[in-house]
Amino acid sequence: MGSIKKFFPYFKYLKRVWLHFGLGIIFGIIFSLSSGLGLPLMAEIAFPILFDNSDQAPEWLRLVVEKYFSNNVTGGFLLLCSFLIPAMILVRVLSGWANGFFMNYAGIFVVQELQKDTFSKIQNLPYNFFKNNQTGEIIASVLNYPNEIRRVVVDMSNDIVKQPLTLLAAISFLIYKSFASESFFISVIGILTVPILVFPIRKIGQYLSKRSRQIVKEGESLNSLVIETIQSPVEIRAFNLEERQIGRFTDILNRIFRFTIKSIRTSLMISPSIEFVSSLGFGVALYLGVQNGMEQGEFFALFIALYMAYGPIKRLGQMHGLVRQIEAPLNRVDTILNLKEDVCYIDKDSSDINNLAIQGQIEFKDVTFAYDDGLTVLDTVNFSLKKGSPLVISGKSGAGKSSLVNLILRLYEPSSGSIILDGKEIREYNPYVLRKSIAYVPQMPLLFKGTITENIRLGNLKATDSQVIKAAKDANAYEFIQRFKDGFDTVIGEKGSTLSGGQRQRIAIARAFLKNAPVMIFDEASSALDKKNKAIFNTCLENFADKYIVIIDHDKESLPEHYSILEL
Ligand SMILES: Nc1ncnc2c1ncn2[C@@H]1O[C@H](COP(=O)(O)OP(=O)(O)OP(=O)(O)O)[C@@H](O)[C@H]1O
Ligand SMILES: [Mg+2]
């Protein structure tokens, strides 16, 4: 059960709901005691008296009936027994309900805590993480896998305490009896066949683990496909890709079906094989016991001990299978939670973080850069950027312009060379503060679902309405916003889908202006604008004489001549 160790770190999530969790376990124990001991016990000890078989009832009960009920079993004693049955059932159902409630309470809590942790972790991971992991995988790690981990951590907690205890009690009883009687000892040898079960159960576990990796992988591809399809309704229709997408979806589903059925076929074999091997052991025990002169009473005791041990062994076998099955999702979450974070947030309450007060230059010194695939994108790039003297980066498509900007934002690190800000390597700055000091309009700006005001205000969450309006005016967006029925309160669809390309760009520019950061980077920020609007944008830049400005533009002729130019 080495694989169960991996779950230990997740038990920490139970700390904050320990009371609910503890109550859940206690009610679970009450539930199983009242089910196991309640009615069967009554049937065994009280019924013989009621049904005229007093000699089979225990001595103490016979005395009680004699003393308190004057041996009248159809009067008060019958009433008491009749009352006890619903009373015990009531204890059973109430404790069953409470067990379910508290366990679910703790379980849902664990899921959400785990989801919060995974989601926060993802926010703080290096940008590279998103390039290296499928969207489907990330979404499953936040939304689905925590639920599966809960299944083991919480739902099994009942059993993790109860089952081994029962098993231990049964085994202790067997050992104790073995010391007392030789024939019992010999008979117990027969049961030693049962542990050979460990081998098939381990094999089954390995098989389930392999299948679960396949199911997880296919499930993630399915997620990614659905997301891709939902995000590209235009492309799918314009290129008549509907059938293709449906075909791919069905293919993945078919594979998941195949793997899941195989997994179910195998996991369902655990219980029957335990049952069969146990019966073999029982047969051998009977044979050896009787041959060695075992008495009926002893054999009956052996039978009860085996019966007690049988349940836990079966359950532990099933648990082993389940643990192996969710090993793959667990590994996914585990990997994410253990990745090294990129952004080290400053304690926001203790100090109001200001922009960097940059005075000197931003310099690239012999900067060389390659993505993971190894192809050199930037080769010994040198330039310096001064306050009030905008730099235009141009060059053919794929020359590495956007990549260069990513380096300034520290989304990636240079392969060699250094980027110096105010005389200090940029990697010495906290990325949070560095990015706070940069207003950036990406090549393909995304807007969030919400109103136009909300989207612009992302530049500075504390900005007043009039500051938002001013930024919109500066970005030449005010006019078209005013034309919308709801003006600044117009709700824009996810990713800004209800706006035109140029409108989207101008809102992204307004957002950057509102940020009022010392460094401003515009990656083809005016590419979707017409000539007139582009000219307005370029004139507007003249207002930022105290800023460090980087403009990526294909059409450098449209920009003032005094701007410095870096050709890539
Ligand atoms: N995440 C990435 N992983 C690997 N290679 C990348 C990645 N992003 C870009 N590239 C590669 O790096 C090179 C430079 O890309 P970049 O986006 O910087 O070009 P660009 O100059 O901005 O082009 P454009 O004018 O078309 O926007 C390209 O060859 C591209 O294939
Ligand atoms: Mg680019």
Name the pTM for this structure. Answer: 0.81
Q: How far is the CA of 463 from the centre of ligand 2 (A)?
A: 30
In a domain, 550, yes or no: yes
Do 453 and 524 share a domain, yes or no? yes
In this prediction, residue 18 carries a pLDDT of 93
Do 171 and 266 share a domain, yes or no? yes
Average of per-residue pLDDT across 24-40:
78
In this prediction, residue 139 carries a pLDDT of 94
Structural domain containing residue 33: 1-123
Q: How far is the CA of 399 from the centre of ligand 2 (A)?
A: 8
Do 327 and 405 share a domain, yes or no? no
d(CA 380, CA 224): 37
Do 20 and 93 share a domain, yes or no? yes
Please state, in angstroms and as integers, the Cα–Cα distance from residue 410 to each residue in 134, 418, 439, following that order. 22, 12, 14
In a domain, 142, yes or no: no
Residue 315 has pLDDT above 90, yes or no: no
Q: How far is the CA of 377 from the centre of ligand 1 (A)?
A: 8
Which residue, of 314, 342, 370, is where some domain finishes? 342
Do 69 and 215 share a domain, yes or no? no
In a domain, 90, yes or no: yes
Average of per-residue pLDDT across 335-358:
67
Average of per-residue pLDDT across 154-161:
72
% pLDDT > 70, the chain: 94
Q: Which ligand is nearest to the CA of 397?
A: 1
Average of per-residue pLDDT across 172-198:
76
- For the domain that residue 554 is a member of, what is the CATH number? 3.40.50.300
Do 118 and 212 share a domain, yes or no? no
Q: 18-32, 241-255, 258-272, 279-293 — which is least confidently predicted? A: 279-293
Do 282 and 198 share a domain, yes or no? yes
Do 424 and 520 share a domain, yes or no? yes
- Split at pLDDT 50, 70, 90, the class of 349 is very low
Do 448 and 528 share a domain, yes or no? yes
Stated as kind and residue range, the H or E segment containing 39 is: helix 39-45
Higher-pLDDT residue of 240, 57: 240
Do 337 and 200 share a domain, yes or no? yes
Please state, in angstroms and as integers, the Cα–Cα distance from residue 127 to each residue in 132, 291, 294, 417, following that order. 9, 73, 72, 21
The domain total for the chain is 3
> Atom 30 (ligand 1): residue with closest C-alpha?
398
Residue 282 has pLDDT above 90, yes or no: no
Q: Which ligand is nearest to the CA of 400?
A: 1
Do 383 and 505 share a domain, yes or no? yes
Which residue, of 123, 152, 186, is where some domain finishes? 123
Highest mean pLDDT among 47-51, 264-268, 280-284: 264-268
> Pick from 149, 61, 550: which is nearest to 336 by CA?
149
Q: Which atom of ligand 1 is nearest to the CA of 395?
A: 21
- Split at pLDDT 50, 70, 90, the class of 113 is very high
In a domain, 49, yes or no: yes
- For the domain that residue 178 is a member of, what is the CATH number? 1.20.1560.10
In a domain, 155, yes or no: no
In this prediction, residue 36 carries a pLDDT of 63
Q: What is the pLDDT of residues 122-137, one digit of tens each?
A: 988 888 888 888 889 9
Residue 344 has pLDDT above 70, yes or no: no
In this prediction, residue 370 carries a pLDDT of 94
CB-based contacts of 398, cutoff 8 Å, min separation 6: none
Q: How far is the CA of 402 from the centre of ligand 1 (A)?
A: 7
Q: Which atom of ligand 1 is nearest to the CA of 524?
A: 27
Average of per-residue pLDDT across 350-354:
51
In a domain, 137, yes or no: no
Interhelix angle for 157-180 vs 296-325, to 10°?
A: 150
d(CA 412, CA 30): 57
Q: How far is the CA of 112 from the centre of ligand 2 (A)?
A: 39
Residue 310 has pLDDT above 60, yes or no: yes
Which residue, of 342, 374, 395, is where some domain finishes? 342
Q: How far is the CA of 117 from the centre of ligand 2 (A)?
A: 33
Residue 33 has pLDDT above 50, yes or no: yes
**What is the CB < 6 Å shell around ligand 1?**
131, 371, 373, 377, 395, 397-403, 443
- Split at pLDDT 50, 70, 90, the class of 453 is very high
> Atom 2 (ligand 1): residue with closest C-alpha?
371
In this prediction, residue 540 carries a pLDDT of 83
- Split at pLDDT 50, 70, 90, the class of 2 is low
Do 116 and 23 share a domain, yes or no? yes
Q: Which atom of ligand 1 is nearest to the CA of 373?
A: 4
Residue 190 has pLDDT above 80, yes or no: no
CA count, 13 A, side-chain hemisphere, 355: 15
Average confidence score pLDDT of the chain: 86
In a domain, 150, yes or no: no
In a domain, 146, yes or no: no
> Atom 14 (ligand 1): residue with closest C-alpha?
400
